[in-house]
Structure 1
């Protein structure tokens, strides 16, 4: 069994308030949960209106499958025009 986790810092350019940030993040998190077999949550920078940190975690019997799923999620995040993914750290357990 392999547990794959990725931690991503995000820049949200158009956010002018925490409400704007929460709107973008809620949409992102909901869409990721609906499309992919992963868990996702905001884990950092909750009180900063143009930055966020999220964690994406998946569990699989095979590391390659877990890695492919995480890569698909990261590609999905990169296609979003509302935000930019900056620092990304992987962790395998």
Structure 2
């Protein structure tokens, strides 16, 4: 069994409140949950308006399958114009 974990930091543009930030993150979160077999959560920078950290995890018997799912989710995040992905870290267990 392989567990794939990715942590990525996001810069969120054009938000002036935590409510606006949560709206952007909820949109990203919902799209990822609908399209991919991943668990996702906001794990840091809860009280900062224009910064967020998302963590995603998936489990499979094959590392390539895990990596493909995580890369597709990262590509979806990259396609969102309101957020820019900066630091990204992968872990394998």
Gaps of 5+ in 2: none
Q: Specify the alignment match of 2:79 in structure 1.
A: 79
1:90 CA displacement: 0.4
- Using the size of structure 1 for normalisation, the TM-score is 0.98
Gaps of 5+ in 1: none
Cα shift readout 1:14-64 (whole Å, capped 9, x = no counterpart): 111101000000111011001100000000000000000010100001000
Q: Secondary structure at the match of 2:64?
A: helix
Q: Specify the alignment match of 2:56 in structure 1.
A: 56
> Could you tell me how far apart the structure 2 residues matched to 1:7 and 1:39 are?
12
Over aligned residue pairs, what C-alpha RMSD do you find? 0.5
